[in-house]
Structure 1
Amino acid sequence: MARQLDEQIAGRYPIGQRLRVLDVGMGQGTQALRLARLGHQVTGLEQDPTMLAAAREALSGEPEGIRERVRIIAGDGRDTGVHFLPGSFDVVLCHGVLMYVEEPDALLAGLARMLAQGGLLSLLVRNGDALAARPGLSGDWAGALAAFDTTAYTNRLGLAVRADRLTVLTDTLAGIGAPLQTWYGVRVFTDTAPDDAGLPEDPATAEGLLAAEERAGRTDPYRSVAALLHLCGVRGAP
Structure 2
Amino acid sequence: MARQLDEQIVGRFPVGRRLRVLDVGMGRGTQALRLARAGHQVTGLERDAEMISAARAALAGEPEGIRERVRVVEGDGRDTGVHFLPGSFDVVLCHGVLMYVAEPDPLVAGLARMLAPDGLLSLLVRNGDAPAMRSGLRGDWAGALTAFDTTCPADDSDAGVRADRLADLKATLAGLGAPLHTWYGVRVFTDTAVDGARVAHTPGCPDDLAALLAVEERAGRTDPYRGVASLLHLCGVRG
Q: TM-score, normalised by structure 2?
A: 0.94
1:195-214 mapped onto 2 (5 Å cutoff): 195-196=195-196, 200=200, 205-214=208-217
Q: CA deviation at 1:157?
A: 4.5
- Alignment partners' CA distance in 1, 2:181 and 2:213: 23
- 1:19 corresponds to 2:22: no
The change in CA–CA distance for 1:189 and 1:148 in structure 2 (over 3 A counts) is same
* CA displacement, residues 27-70 of structure 1 (integer Å, 9 cap, x when unaligned): 00001000000000000000111111111111111110000000
- The equivalences for 1:96-135 within 5 A come to 96-135=96-135
**Is the Cα–Cα contact under 8 Å of residues 87 and 113 in structure 2 kept in the other structure?**
yes
* 1:174 is aligned to 2:177: no
Contact 1:155 1:161 in 2 (8 A): no
8 Å CA contact 2:28–2:54 kept in 1: the answer is yes
Question: How large is the RMSD of aligned CA atoms in angstroms?
Answer: 1.7
Runs of 4+ in 1 over 6 A off after TM superposition: 201-204
Using the TM superposition, give the Cα deviation of residue 205 of structure 1 relative to its aligned residue in structure 2, in angstroms. 1.8
Q: Please state whether the residue corresponding to 1:129 is helix, strand or coil.
A: coil
| Alignment: residue pair count | 236
Tell whether the 8 Å contact from 2:131 to 2:154 is kept in structure 1 after alignment: no
- Matching residue's letter, 1:34: R
1:17-96 matches, cutoff 5 A = 17-96=17-96
Does 1:151 find its partner at 2:157?
Answer: no
How far 1:194 moved relative to its partner?
2.7
Conservation of the 8 A alpha-carbon contact between 1:154 and 1:161: no
Is the CA contact 1:23–1:92 (under 8 Å) kept in the aligned structure 2? yes
The residue number in structure 2 matching 1:188 is 188
SS of alignment partner, residue 153 of structure 2: strand
Aligned residue for 2:161, secondary structure, equals strand
Partner Cα distance (2:206, 2:144) in 1: 35
Give the unaligned 5+ runs of structure 1: none
| Residue in structure 1 matched with residue 140 of structure 2 by the alignment | 140
Q: Is the 8 A contact 2:147 2:154 kept in 1?
A: no
Aligned sequence identity (%): 76
